[in-house]
């Protein structure tokens, strides 16, 4: 017939759009990966527009991720902010891709309400979880640090005459031959005993941690709480027990800016080495941190029978919850116990807890640990140093930790102080010798 097309009639009207079932399929594909729904609907160019940027970021992340330390990322506020921004942008991009898919439906407006909106709400929920976790960790970092710069008290933390000065953080030094040496990073850990039955905040636990970043060697130095007459940063002597210095300094703002910083400077002067940072935790908060981490496994080397605290532990491997761990590090009423044996237990538990939190699988417990730390810990580590500190801690070799407890008769002499109190007169020369051996490059 004249005018008849060989291939049949030519369709000029628009093909019908996708039905509800097909729309659920393409929208779900767009939810899984932006552009995938368009690819299924043969919208090649639009699929490339939505999919290519996400694919590029995904490939970059796969390449970079193996070089990142997850624990270090958790303490890098800038990285957390960057990830939060990327999470928000991906959500908006995903929503835009799914909304654009509604154009493929027979009734785009109906598809937007019945298909696109529910799937978009699911996407919002999915992205809200990491957004909350990232925000929670950033809130914790802000809560425990004193700011992006060192504490104002650090200006008063310079060692006195005869004590070598050092910049904050592990730095470089040179030996007599000019060879470059990296000095260790030092942190003072303070366990603050404060509660409703206490009128003062006593630092009954004082531990100096020294870490050599180059080879992972570390040292733990336990400073007795009963040291008396220790030289202060200004050269005068503190005529009271060392564990009361923080409370005294906090109560004397006209003389001291920050009690914990004064303790840090005082112990640094005694050791002959300026301590870089401090981290203070209240002891009830310590129990919450242990519980948040799922407890801690500790090898007990000697029997503990503290009837007053109700703590009975036989030698061997034990799993402690928070309250039991707190009793373990505080108890000193067991037979033949002392502050110095307690200091050894504190070192044992600290190493065990640090090893647990440093494991890759511990990242699952960090949200609860973060919440516990936020209300229990304060530190003068600058925000931009936290990530580097986390990396340094990860480098510590457990079998390369040297442990020292400054106990009599080598490092102190027992004496009777005012009102008949038990005190320890420090042997400053012996203590400084240890500091020079373990804390200097």
250-289: pLDDT as tens digits: 888 888 888 999 999 999 999 999 999 999 998 888 899 9
Comparing C-alpha atoms, which of 152, 335, 160, 328 is closest to residue 230? 160
Q: State yes or no: pLDDT of 336 exceeds 90.
A: no
pLDDT of residue 399: 67
The answer to whether the CB of 260 falls within 8 A of the CB of 380 is: yes
What value does the CA radius of gyration of the chain take, rounded to a whole number of Å?
Answer: 30
Which of the listed CATH numbers 3.40.630.190, 2.40.50.140, 3.30.1490.100, 1.10.10.10 matches domain 160-439?
Answer: 3.40.630.190
pLDDT of residue 258: 87
Cα-Cα-Cα-Cα dihedral sign, residues 96, 99, 101, 103: negative
Read off the pLDDT of residues 236-252 as tens digits, 9 standing for 90 and up: 999 999 999 999 998 88
pLDDT of residue 198: 59
* End-to-end CA gap in the chain: 100
Name the residue with higher pLDDT: 411 or 170.
411
Q: Which of 269-273, 313-317, 352-356 has the highest mean pLDDT?
A: 269-273
- pTM of the entire predicted model: 0.77
Average pLDDT of the chain to the nearest whole number? 82
Q: What is the mean pLDDT of residues 383-388?
A: 84
Helices (H) and strands (E) in the chain, counts: 15, 16
Q: What is the mean pLDDT of residues 421-431?
A: 93
Q: State yes or no: pLDDT of 120 exceeds 90.
A: yes
Q: State yes or no: pLDDT of 222 exceeds 60.
A: yes
Determine the Cα–Cα distance for residues 322 and 29; give it in Å rounded to an integer. Answer: 46
pLDDT of residue 387: 84
């Amino acid at each position: 017939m004249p005018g008849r097309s060989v291939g049949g009639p030519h369709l000029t009207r628009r093909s019908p759009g996708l039905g509800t079932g097909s729309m659920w399929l393409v929208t779900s594909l767009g939810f899984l990966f932006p552009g995938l729904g368009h690819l299924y609907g043969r919208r090649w160019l639009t699929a490339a527009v939505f999919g290519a940027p996400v694919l590029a970021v995904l490939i970059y992340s796969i390449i970079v991720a193996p070089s990142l330390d997850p624990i270090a990322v958790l303490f890098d506020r800038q990285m957390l902010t960057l990830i939060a921004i990327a999470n928000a942008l991906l959500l908006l991009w995903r929503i835009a891709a799914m909304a654009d898919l509604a154009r493929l439906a027979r009734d785009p407006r109906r598809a937007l309400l019945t298909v696109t909106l529910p799937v978009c709400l699911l996407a919002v929920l999915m992205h809200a979880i990491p957004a909350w976790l990232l925000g929670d960790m950033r809130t914790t970092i802000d809560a425990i640090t004193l700011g992006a710069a060192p504490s104002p008290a650090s200006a008063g933390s310079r060692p006195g005459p005869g004590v070598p000065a050092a910049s904050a953080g592990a730095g470089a030094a040179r030996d007599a031959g000019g060879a470059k040496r990296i000095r260790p990073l030092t942190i003072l850990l303070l366990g603050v005993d404060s509660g409703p039955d206490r009128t003062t905040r006593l630092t009954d636990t004082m531990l100096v941690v020294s870490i050599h970043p180059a080879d992972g060697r570390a040292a733990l130095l336990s400073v007795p709480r009963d040291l008396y007459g220790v030289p202060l940063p200004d050269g005068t002597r503190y005529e009271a027990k060392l564990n009361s210095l923080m409370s005294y300094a906090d109560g004397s703002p006209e003389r001291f800016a920050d009690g914990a910083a004064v303790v840090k400077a005082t112990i640094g002067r005694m050791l002959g080495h300026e301590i870089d940072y401090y981290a203070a935790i209240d002891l009830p908060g310590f129990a919450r941190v242990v519980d948040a981490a799922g407890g801690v496994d500790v090898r007990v080397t000697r029997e503990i029978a503290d009837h007053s605290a109700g703590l009975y532990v036989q030698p061997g491997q034990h799993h402690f919850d928070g309250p039991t761990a707190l009793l373990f590090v505080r108890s000193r009423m067991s037979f033949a116990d002392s502050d110095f044996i307690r200091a050894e237990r504190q070192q044992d538990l600290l190493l065990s807890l640090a090893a647990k939190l440093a494991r890759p699988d511990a990242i699952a417990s960090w949200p609860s640990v973060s919440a516990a730390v936020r209300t229990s810990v304060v530190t003068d580590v600058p925000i931009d140093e936290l990530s580097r500190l986390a990396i340094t801690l990860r480098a510590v070799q457990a079998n390369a930790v040297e442990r020292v407890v400054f106990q009599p008769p080598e490092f102190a002499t027992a004496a009777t102080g005012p009102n008949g109190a038990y005190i320890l007169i420090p042997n400053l020369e012996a203590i400084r010798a240890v500091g020079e051996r373990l804390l200097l490059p």
